[in-house]
Amino acid sequence: MSRASDLVDATLAKVPSGVDADVRASVGNLALTRFANGFIHQNVAEDSETLSLRVAVDGRVALATTTNTSTDGLDALVDSAIAAARLSPVDPDWPGPAPAAAVPGIEHFDPATADASPRERAERVRSFVDAGAGLLAAGYCETSGGEIVFANTAGQRAEGRSSQAILDGIHQTPTSAGSGHAAGASLASLDAGAVGSLAARRARESADPFDLKPGEYEVVLAPECVATIAVFMAFYGFNAKMHLEGRSFAEIGETQFDERFSIWDDVTDDRAMGVPFDAEGTPKRKVEFVSDGTTVGLAHDRRTARKAGTESTGHYGPGSESYGPFPTNVFVGGGDRSVDDLIAEVDRGLYVATFNYCRVLDPKSLSVTGLTRNGTFMIENGRITGAVTNLRFTQSFVAALAPGRVLGVGTDGRFADSEFGAGFIHAPSMRLAGWNFTGGASG
């Protein structure tokens, strides 16, 4: 028996008869190496044990979490959860605990990454820094790994291990910066030199930017930009709670997007990260959201599935009662063009490395305003001819991907950094017919 299993069993044994309960234990570690001005300045590491308990007492539901996993801590967790439930109103949408069901036999876990040393992370930092000789480098290399065990009073039990490695950084000149990013289930899968080379090239090539007149421009968006589009679509569009409340753009069965655009969630993909079940114990599976331009599915937890008369897709997370089920193993379909090919096909437009500070103006159209960052470049006659100062955009992400608007998709899919986190959106570069830039970085 593992430590996580022991914690789950000990907690479940303390739950009184007649109380529905979900118990989830996460036991693992996270280590971080930070660098700035080309030098490592911080190494931190943390071993953690977190225990969550959700109970339902006569339809009154409450969730409690603790990091005090002593016997007294478990007693206090159970007592506080039950006390909170008894003070809560009856939850008419409580779906009950998940029934027993088999979990996919897949594990995205690399022991070497979970046990990575500061020296091993420092070697990746060194490769990143050396790729930008003469520039100032800053960023971090992070490794993590651990086990999650779930059990409930309905007989469902699920166990899984996962690991993750992230390298994220910038190279800087006195007047510019360029970014690079990589993530995966293993540290060995990260090509730190390539990440550093990309960041250094963007920094050097954007050292003397010029101001560009606002307007609609054809664009080639790097994976980070496409990942930000995807995460906004996942939260505001394919989230079943948003859809049930009439706040989503998603129209099931409608061809809302270009035939070159597909997006899905699939923890069973060999490239994915995480465990194959959600925080309710529901097994995960592949769920398509858009297939060849047609909207075909949504992410559900047990609560939204009950309302919609369907089954959970395994997308519950703590807090989903408020913000809804959220996909965490998202893949945007790749294409058949290299980044150079995508750029070569543009007569006049922009290459954008990353988006920053994006905020939704209208969820129904997914109209978003944000900024470009760390590398925005003019494309003329199929070539990058110079750097452009950061621009503000106001753009409907749905309209940008509408039929006829996706002109090419790259072969360079990878786990990219997005507006709301790193490591769960796998996206390629993409060429779009137009993007609405409304001003400079100041407004």
If pLDDT is split at 50, 70 and 90, which confidence band does 330 have? very high
| In the predicted structure, residue 422 carries a pLDDT above the cut 70 | no
Helix axes of 118-130 and 192-205: crossing angle, nearest 10 degrees: 30
If pLDDT is split at 50, 70 and 90, which confidence band does 423 have? low
**Predicted TM-score (pTM) above 0.75:** yes
Domain regions of the chain by residue span: 3-202, 209-443
Q: Summarize the confidence of residues 414-423 as an average pLDDT.
A: 81
If pLDDT is split at 50, 70 and 90, which confidence band does 441 have? low
| In the predicted structure, residue 410 carries a pLDDT above the cut 80 | yes
What percent of the chain has pLDDT above 90? 96
| In the predicted structure, residue 318 carries a pLDDT above the cut 90 | no
Q: How far apart are CA 277 and CA 70, in angstroms?
A: 26
The whole-number pLDDT of residue 376 equals 97
Length of the chain: 443
User: For the segment 249-283, what is each residue's pLDDT rounded down to a tens digit?
Assistant: 999 999 999 999 999 999 999 999 999 999 999 99
Q: Summarize the confidence of residues 211-223 as an average pLDDT.
A: 97
Q: Summarize the confidence of residues 134-145 as an average pLDDT.
A: 97
User: Which option is the CATH number for 3-202: 3.30.2290.10, 2.40.50.110, 3.40.190.10, 3.40.50.300?
Assistant: 3.30.2290.10
The whole-number pLDDT of residue 442 equals 63
| In the predicted structure, residue 221 carries a pLDDT above the cut 80 | yes
For 205, phi then psi, to 5°, come to -75, -15
C-alpha separations of 368 from 45, 219, 355, 395, 441 in Å: 37, 16, 11, 5, 15
The whole-number pLDDT of residue 124 equals 98
404 Cα distance to chain centroid: 27
